[in-house]
Chain A
Amino acid sequence: MKIPQELRFAASHEWATEPADGIVTVGISDFAQDQLGDVVFVELPDVGRTLAAGEAAAVVESVKTASDIYAPLAGEVVEVNGALLDAPEAINTDAYGEGWLFRLRVTDPEAWGGMLDADAYAAVAEEG
């Protein structure tokens, strides 16, 4: 199970990159994609939508189940990964790369530091 050191995580299994010019990229962890199994559909938020931290923002649907994806930080959606609409399997094959879901202009860039680091998230994932 891959958990990149440079990312921060939510207990609900989303990851976020360190804010750059106030913008973070969000996806789901390798652990989450493995639990979901083969992803077949993705629903992405509208660009321009304002999200509260913890608000349901996207849906990742696998053969097995449909799972809500929550905004790990508060902010405005500035970009979504439209390539996933045709190739949702990128979430399985490259959860931290081509499988990214959306980008947020975060309300409070400092909040990123309050998310789980790789070691803390590894402990969460261990418990399932």
Chain B
Amino acid sequence: MKQTPLHDEHVALNGRMVDFAGWHLPIQYPTGIPQEHLAVRQDAGVFDVSHMGQLRILGPDATPFLSWATLNDPAKLRPGRGQYSMLQNDRGGLIDDLYVYRDVDESFLVVANAANVDAVLGHLQALATAPTPGPFRVVVRDESDAWALLAVQGPSAAAKLDRLADADLTAVRKNRLVDTTLSGMPVRLARTGYTGEDGFEVFCRPVDAAAVWRLLLEAGVAPCGLGARDTLRLEAGFPLFGHELDDRSNPLCTPFAWVVKDKPAFGLEALRAGACPRRLVGLVLEGRGIARDGYRVLDEAGGEIGRVTSGTVSPLTRTSIALAWVDAAHADEGARIAVEIRGQPVVATVTPPPFYRP
């Protein structure tokens, strides 16, 4: 199993280590998932997300290339800004969801899910060299080993980081990048995250990762594991590739249709041609129990009308929430359906995410 530069820090903190996409990472620390979740909602927490992949897209055609390859529009990014995006196949589905940062004019940093780095890299390299509409004058290379990545999230995250950083972080707006130093260590900060809270993602050199991590812990930022990362993103209504999204998911049938911009793009016709027999919706359950990945969604007659993709109980509100693909006829806000939990139907209401707003 692969280890991030923070592996020994997690072990020293008694993190409960699991295999996540081939990486040895903490699902939680002894404090537990609900407490870590609340730390991020009420104060500040830090996650090791160094397992995520970083790809460099570089060259005179970098912008037109990424514009063709991804569903959001990187041409709208000025240098120093980032955007959520998706990488589509040509069969009406997705290869991954991404964060795309433009650091300088024709150089982009693409952050991909750990499990998909190889697929994303292979797809982008193939698209770059394809004769139509390319070939594009770009280099696509894997820089994952060059970066450690820490997500610092929560209402106090910016203030706590600001005290450690040389730059004035209060002036950095959402989706912006800033290059600065933390206690002399060079870092690139992006005001983004996956929790629904304000915060920054901290790109640093792997050799500095442990020192940055300790600096944050000393500043009162709580260490948080993958478990809280999952409950937080679900409460915020964000998809997790492999659960809500996969190679057959049409983003136009999800709450993230806004990502798909009106410009020529690889595979776009297949997405546009696809109908939406099912839609990705949020569910709030009225009964007890967690609607887990793969559980059946039922109509009033008990017939299957969909499947749950992720579910949890909100540590904040104790409400049982889920994301699910359900038949379009039952996907409107307020529709009352049920989730089958251990053989029993539990009533749920279709509720557009997010389930929580800071």
Residues 23-66 of A contacting B (Cβ, < 8 Å): 37-38, 40-41, 43, 59, 61, 63-64, 66
Contact A66 B34 (CB under 8 A): no
The interface residues of chain A lying within 8 Å CB-to-CB of B33 are 37-38, 63
We find that the number of chain B residues with CB closer than 8 angstroms to chain A is 16
Q: Does B255 contact A (CB under 8 A)?
A: no
Are A63 and B34 touching (Cβ within 8 A)? yes
- Residues on B with C-beta less than 8 A from A64 are 27, 227
B313 to A41, Cβ gap below 8 A? yes
Partner of A66, one of B290, B312, B318: B290
Contacts of A61 in B (CB 8 A): 289-290
Q: Is the interface of B mostly helix, strand, loop or mixed?
A: mixed
Shortest distance from the beta carbon of A80 to any chain B beta carbon, whole Å: 14
In the assembled complex, the CB of B266 is this many whole angstroms from the nearest CB of chain A, namely: 38
> What residues on A are CB-neighbors of B357 within 8 Å?
none
Contact with A along B267-308 (1 / 0, CB 8 A): 000000000000000000000111010000000000000000
Docked complex Cα distance between A63 and B32 (Å): 10
Q: B288 contacts which of A37, A43, A63, A92 (Cβ < 8 Å)?
A: A43
**B32 pairs with A38, CB closer than 8 A:** yes
* A66, B342: Cβ atoms closer than 8 Å: yes
Contacts of B318 in A (CB 8 A): 40
Tally of contact residues, A, Cβ under 8 A: 12
Interface residues of A in 85-125 (CB under 8 A from B): 89, 92
Residues of B within 8 Å of A43, CB to CB, are 288-289
Query: For B292, what are the chain A residues with a Cβ–Cβ distance below 8 Å?
Result: 66
| B28 sits at the interface (CB 8 A) | yes
State in angstroms the CA–CA spacing of A59 and B287 once bound together.
Answer: 14
Alpha-carbon gap, A18 to B231, bound state (A)? 40
Chain A residues whose CB sits within 8 angstroms of the CB of B289 once the complex forms: 41, 43, 61, 66
Asked if A63 contacts B313 (CB within 8 A), the reply is yes
A64 to B28, CA, bound (A): 11
**Contact flags A8-32 to B (C-beta < 8 A → 1, else 0):** 0000000000000000000000000
**Closest residue on chain B to residue A85 by CB atoms:** B288
A40 and B342 form a contact (CB under 8 A): no
Contact A40-B28, Cβ < 8 Å, known A63-B227, A63-B313, A66-B342: no
- Residue in A59, A63, A66, A89 whose beta carbon sits within 8 Å of that of B231 in the complex: A63
* Binary contact readout B200-235 vs A (1 if CB under 8 angstroms, 0 otherwise): 000000000000000000000000000100010000
Q: Are B290 and A41 in contact (CB under 8 A)?
A: yes
Give CA–CA (A73, B42) in the complex, Å: 45
1/0 per residue, CB under 8 A from A, across B335-346: the answer is 000000010000
By a CB distance below 8 angstroms, the chain B residues around A92 are 32
What is the minimal beta-carbon distance from A67 to any residue of chain B, in angstroms?
Answer: 11
Binding site for B on A (CB under 8 A): 37-38, 40-41, 43, 59, 61, 63-64, 66, 89, 92
